[in-house]
Amino acid sequence: MDGRLGRGRANLTLQPDGPNAGYLHLDDGDRPFTGTIVTFGPRGGRYAGTDGEGIVTVRRERAHARLVFVPDGGGARSAFERAT
C-alpha cells in the first residue's frame, strides 16, 4: 500500500456489500484504514476511505486476481492479492 498513511505491506478485508478495513504495517506501528468500494462491473469501480478516493480495478495476473487502487489525480497506487 502506498498513500497518505504511508508506504508498506498491508492487510485488507473486504465485505460482500462494499465496506473494507485493514492495517498498514509500518516500522512505527500499524495504522488502521477503512473504506467502501462501489463496483461498476466485474472489473472495477470506485473507492473512498481513510486513504482517499479513486478508481479500483481487478487485474488477472497468472492464477491470481489483484485489486489495484489508483487515487484521483494520480500518484501512488496500492495493490492487494488474496492471501494463500
* pLDDT per residue as tens digits for the range 42-55: 788 999 998 889 99
In terms of Cβ atoms closer than 10 Å to its own Cβ (0-12, 13-18, 19+), residue 58 is middle
- Which backbone phi and psi does 75 adopt, to 5 degrees? 100, -160
Give the pLDDT confidence of 56-73 residue by residue, as tens digits: 998 887 777 888 899 998
Residues linked to residue 30 through DSSP beta bridges, in sequence order: 25
Please tell me the pTM assigned to this model. Answer: 0.80
**Is the separation of the CB atoms in 24 and 8 below 8 Å?**
yes
